Amino acid sequence: MIKSRTKIVDLLKMQAGIPVMVKGWVRTKRGNKNITFIALNDGSTIHNVQIVCDMNLFTEDMLRGATTGACLRVSGQLVPSPGAEQAVEIKAEEIEIYGTADPAVYPLQKKGHSMEFLREIAHLRPRTNTFGCVLRIRHAMAYAIHKYFNDKGFVYLHTPIITASDCEGAGAMFQVTTLDLNNPPKEKDGSVDYTQDFFGRQTSLTVSGQLEGELGAMALGEIYTFGPTFRAENSNTPRHLAEFWMIEPEMAFYDINDNMDLAEDFIKYLVRYALEHCASDLQFLNNMIDKSLIERLESVCNIDFVRLTYTKGIEILTNSGHQFEYPVYWGVDLQSEHERYLVEKHFKRPVILTDYPKEIKAFYMKENRDGKTVRAMDILFPKIGEIIGGSQREENLDILVRKMKEMHVSEENLDWYLDTRRFGTGPHSGFGLGFERLLLFITGMTNIRDVIPFPRTPKSADF
Ligand code: 4AD
Ligand code: MG
């Protein structure tokens, strides 16, 4: 009897005529009194292996527990399959049931389930075909991101998760404290005395690794971060998470055009990587979730993104004659309906919007000579809206300090950050790619809660 397990992804490529052993979870069981067919999946691929049980060798009793969801070890011979669906199948000789899954209570039966229902059982949904595909693609994309930057000589910089600074200045931070919330120590004026807190000051979960990333770039040249980020904004939309992963490259000596070139090349590389390395998972999602998925992915690899100033974008929107829910005027922070109009209706391709009004962008963005706009760049994608946000950074100490004053950003808190401008400052740029927004695009899934294993959103932190 063969002792080592073969993964199904490898087994399906092997030649028939050898003994094999597989382990996995039952997807379906069917048959009659002469023969039983079990479709087994082990997560290594979207494809199942068919297990054929000759009922002269097995009793019904022996297979009773091998229902949908049960965990099995199967040993037998790899033989040619007469079925059209697969080249090989396993003629079972021995089956061990590691764990049963009582059909009366196991929630994942053969019928299709709604995404909403599957979110309620996020601890079991990785065992469905769709989530198997999404999670394998998520892994492949994480790997491709590291490969892309490694091949280009970028250094992976680990920025802190607990921080005392609000990078985006939006105030949407989750506080981290060990103080007793029922009885916190107080100052004379009644405010909380954070000097008695764990870090001796008020701290939060980071909204971005950028500020520390800039320090890295101004020493190592080109760096990237890739980690979890947290936003306590009460946004209940299909594109917002309270905990999401972000990739933030930061490059010394890049201006905004170099920054856009890198961002466009990076996204195209990732899409191409998915097409080349996740073909069977993408094919499944194309069949089951979104019939134009693969076509859309291929088209993005082959077209130039539109590059357009915010001011020109506003002109297009106001001249469109389209009735928007939110009014359009110069200075407005674009809503996703505006972004999607530009991308899906007007240009029909990804758009990089640049030079936004300074009032609606973060303090660190480099001011243009007009004194009104900053060298920001947002990349807008079909069906998603903003997938990347970035900018050239303000490297001039005096201008940066003036902007911080204007925008009420604490200089005292960010004194360490200002040292990059005090000592050996220079032009630099960077951007942030929302990992789950990228995955929405690549998988064709429509809700961001379905491209992360355990989503965190307002009023929801289960599992
Ligand atoms: O535009 P944002 O807020 O930019 C930054 O945080 C900069 N510090 C990035 C930089 O220049 N280094 O966020 C960047 C990207 C967005 O374009 C979006 O894709 C994603 O992060 N993102 C979210 N994804 C999911 N849920 C949320 N609540 C998100 N907020 C931002
Ligand atoms: Mg943004």
Q: Supply φ then ψ for residue 147, to 5 degrees.
A: -65, -45
Beta-bridged to residue 431, according to DSSP, are 390
| Number of Cβ within a 10 Å radius of residue 454 | 12
| N-term to C-term CA, the chain | 40
CA distance 281 to 259: 31
Q: How confident is the model at residue 75 (pLDDT cuts 50, 70, 90)?
A: very high
Atom of ligand 1 nearest to the CA of 246: 21
Cβ of 167 below 6 Å from ligand 1: yes
Instruction: Count, in order, helices (H) and strands (E) of the chain.
Output: 13, 16
The answer to whether residue 111 scores a pLDDT higher than 80 is no
What is the pLDDT, as a whole number, of residue 255?
98
What is the pLDDT, as a whole number, of residue 297?
97
What is the pLDDT, as a whole number, of residue 155?
98
What is the pLDDT, as a whole number, of residue 165?
87
Q: How confident is the model at residue 169 (pLDDT cuts 50, 70, 90)?
A: confident
Between 323 and 169, where is the model more confident? 323
pLDDT in tens, 204-245: 999 999 999 999 999 999 999 999 999 999 989 999 999 999
Taking alpha carbons only, the member of 49, 67, 53 closest to residue 13 is 49
The answer to whether residue 171 scores a pLDDT higher than 80 is no
What is the pLDDT, as a whole number, of residue 127?
96
What is the pLDDT, as a whole number, of residue 167?
78
264: three-class secondary structure by DSSP: helix
Taking alpha carbons only, the member of 138, 148, 384, 142 closest to residue 281 is 138
CA distance 300 to 260: 15
Cβ of 364 below 6 Å from ligand 1: no
What is the pLDDT, as a whole number, of residue 112?
81
Between 109 and 76, where is the model more confident? 76
From ligand 1's centre to the CA of 217, what distance in Å?
Answer: 19
- In this prediction the pTM is 0.97
Cβ of 246 below 6 Å from ligand 1: yes
> Ligand 1: which of 244, 254, 442 to mutate, judged by most atoms within 8 Å of the beta carbon?
244
From ligand 2's centre to the CA of 235, what distance in Å?
Answer: 14
Atom of ligand 1 nearest to the CA of 437: 19
Cβ of 214 below 6 Å from ligand 1: no
Question: Which tokens in the block code for residue 414?
Answer: 């960010």
Average pLDDT on 12-35 reads 96
CA distance 248 to 226: 6
197 secondary structure, DSSP code: S
The answer to whether residue 37 scores a pLDDT higher than 80 is yes
Cβ of 230 below 6 Å from ligand 1: no
Beta-bridged to residue 378, according to DSSP, are 353, 389
CB-CB contact of 208 with 224 (8 Å): no
> Ligand 1: which of 226, 230, 245, 246 to mutate, judged by most atoms within 8 Å of the beta carbon?
246
Percent of the chain with pLDDT over 90: 94
pLDDT in tens, 375-411: 999 999 999 999 999 999 999 999 999 999 999 999 9
Least confident of 143-152, 160-169, 358-367: 160-169
Cβ of 337 below 6 Å from ligand 1: no
Cβ of 429 below 6 Å from ligand 1: no
408 torsion bin: left (phi>0), alpha (psi -120 to 50), beta (else)? left
